C-alpha cells in the first residue's frame, strides 16, 4: 500500500495521505513524493489546482513520523533528522509559494508536520471534527514546519498562547487564528471535491465559521502572553484565574521549558519579519540541534517510546538559549529556487 497516493483527474492534481493506522504521520519518503508531484504540476497547463486529503476517520496528519529520528539519534546519527527537516521545510515553503490553488481537507487531527502540509495551502477547509495544533513543546521541540509564521500572524498574542501551550483548535478557532479558511461540513466534502476537479475554486461554499473559543479569550490571552520572556509569562499565569490562564497553566506545566523559551523568541522574531523563509530559518536553528543538544530525544522517549508521560526536562539559562538559536553558518537552510 502506498503511503501517499498521487494521481490526476480532470484538471486537478490529487494527493491523498494514506497511513490511516499511523494517523497519516509523514515519513521522509512521503515528503519527497509530495514535493515531486508539486514540481511536476507547477508548470503543467493541464493542471489547474491541487487537492490534498487523507484516508481514515481520525486524522488528516497527526505529525511527522519521529520514531526513526529517535532510533537514529540513539545511535548517535543526528544527520538523519537534520536531513529530514531540511527536505520537509523545503516542501513547506513550496506549498506556501505555490502558484496554483492548493485545497486541503483538514479532518480530525492536523498537528505538527500536518500543519506544514495542510495549513500553508491557499484554501484550507475544516469541519466539525477538525483539531489543529502545534504541540511540539510537549516533546522538546519548537513549533516548526513554518508554523511560527502562522502563530506570528494570529490575532494579538493568540499565536504565542497556541505555540507555548500546544492547545488544540477546533474549526472556529482555526479559522479565527488563521490556520484555516473555510468551514464545510464533512458530509459535503465528496461533492465539493468533485466540483473542484475542473479547477473551479469558486465552488468552495461560504458557510459561516463556527464560534471561536479563542476569540472569546483574546483579551485575557493578550494580557497573559505579552511578556518578553517565558518566565514573565509563567509569572503572569501564576495568579490569574480566567479560563485561558487555567488551561495554559495545565498545558505549559508539562512542556519543555527550553523549548517554550525558544518558541517565544522565534514567534517574536517572525512577527517582525513575517516571511516563511524567516520562520523556517529560525526553526531549523533549533531543530538541527534538538536531538544532540535539546530535549527532543527525552520528549520522544516519554511520549512515544516508554509512554510514561514523565519527561525529565533540562534546566536552561541564557547561554543555552543563545546556543540553540545561533545561526547555523554552512549548515543553514539554502533555498535552491524561489518557488
The set of long-range contacts for 302-307, using a CB threshold of 8 Å and a minimum separation of 24, is: 302/139, 303/138, 303/139, 304/66, 304/67, 304/70, 304/139, 305/70
Could you report the per-residue pLDDT of 236-285, keeping only the tens digit for each? 999 899 999 999 999 999 999 999 999 999 999 999 999 999 999 999 99
**Alpha helices, DSSP H only, in the chain?**
28-42, 67-74, 79-97, 113-118, 147-153, 158-165, 171-177, 189-196, 213-224, 230-238, 243-252, 257-272, 276-293, 296-300, 318-325
Q: What is the mean pLDDT of the chain?
A: 95
- Whole-Å CA distances, 331 to 86, 281, 284, 288, 290: 10, 11, 10, 9, 14
Question: What pLDDT digit, counting tens, does each position of 217-243 carry?
Answer: 999 999 999 999 999 999 999 989 999
Global pTM value: 0.96
User: What is the separation of C-alpha 77 from the centre of its chain, rounded to a whole number of angstroms?
Assistant: 25
Query: What is the third-level CATH fold of 4-331?
Result: 2-enoyl-CoA Hydratase; Chain A, domain 1 (3.90.226)
At 174 the pLDDT is 98
Cα–Cα distance for residue pair 112/141, rounded to 1 Å: 10
The 8-class DSSP code of residue 310 comes to -
| Confidence band, pLDDT 50/70/90 cuts, at residue 1 | low
Residue 184, phi then psi, degrees to nearest 5: -135, 120
**Nearest CA-CA partner of 123 in 151, 95, 145, 146:** 95
**What integer pLDDT is reported at residue 339 of this predicted model?**
43
User: Is 66 a residue whose pLDDT tops 90?
Assistant: no
Q: In what order do the strands lie in the sheet with 131-133?
A: 59-61, 109-111, 131-133
pLDDT greater than 60 at residue 338: no
Is residue 68 predicted with pLDDT exceeding 90?
Answer: no
- Per-domain residue ranges of the chain: 4-331
C-alpha distances in Å from residue 187, one per residue of 26, 127, 165: 26, 9, 32
Amino acid at each position: 500500500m502506498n503511503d501517499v497516493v498521487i494521481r490526476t483527474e480532470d484538471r486537478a492534481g490529487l494527493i491523498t495521505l494514506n497511513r490511516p493506522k499511523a494517523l497519516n504521520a509523514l515519513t521522509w519518503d512521503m515528503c519527497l513524493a509530495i514535493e515531486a508531484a508539486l514540481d511536476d504540476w507547477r508548470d503543467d497547463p493541464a493542471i489547474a489546482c491541487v487537492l490534498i486529503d487523507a484516508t481514515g476517520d481520525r486524522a488528516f496528519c497527526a505529525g511527522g513520523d519521529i520514531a526513526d529520528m529517535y532510533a537514529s539519534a540513539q545511535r548517535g546519527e543526528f544527520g538523519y533528522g537534520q536531513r529530514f527537516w531540511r527536505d520537509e521545510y523545503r516542501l513547506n515553503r513550496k506549498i506556501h509559494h505555490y502558484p496554483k490553488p492548493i485545497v486541503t481537507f483538514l479532518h480530525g487531527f492536523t498537528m505538527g508536520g500536518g500543519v506544514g502540509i495542510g495549513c500553508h495551502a491557499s484554501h484550507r477547509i475544516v469541519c466539525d471534527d477538525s483539531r489543529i495544533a502545534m504541540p511540539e513543546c510537549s516533546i522538546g521541540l519548537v513549533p516548526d514546519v513554518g508554523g511560527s509564521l502562522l502563530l506570528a500572524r494570529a490575532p494579538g498574542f493568540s499565536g504565542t498562547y497556541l505555540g507555548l501551550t500546544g492547545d488544540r483548535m477546533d474549526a472556529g478557532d482555526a479559522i479565527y487564528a488563521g490556520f484555516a479558511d473555510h468551514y464545510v461540513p464533512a458530509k459535503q466534502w465528496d461533492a465539493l471535491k468533485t466540483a473542484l476537479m475542473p479547477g473551479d475554486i469558486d465552488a468552495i461554499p461560504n458557510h459561516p465559521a463556527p464560534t471561536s473559543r479563542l476569540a472569546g479569550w483574546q483579551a485575557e490571552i493578550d494580557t497573559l502572553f505579552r511578556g518578553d520572556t517565558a518566565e514573565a509569562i509563567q509569572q503572569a499565569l501564576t495568579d490569574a484565574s480566567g479560563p485561558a490562564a487555567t488551561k495554559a497553566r495545565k498545558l505549559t506545566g508539562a512542556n519543555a521549558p527550553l523549548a517554550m523559551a525558544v518558541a517565544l523568541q522565534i514567534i517574536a522574531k517572525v512577527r517582525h519579519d513575517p516571511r516563511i523563509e524567516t520562520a523556517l530559518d529560525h526553526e531549523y536553528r533549533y531543530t538541527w540541534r534538538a536531538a544532540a543538544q535539546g530535549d527532543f530525544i527525552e520528549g520522544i522517549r516519554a511520549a512515544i517510546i516508554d509512554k510514561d508521560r514523565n519527561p525529565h526536562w533540562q534546566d536552561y539559562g541564557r547561554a543555552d538559549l543563545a546556543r540553540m538559536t545561533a545561526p547555523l553558518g554552512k549548515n543553514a537552510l539554502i533555498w535552491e529556487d524561489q518557488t
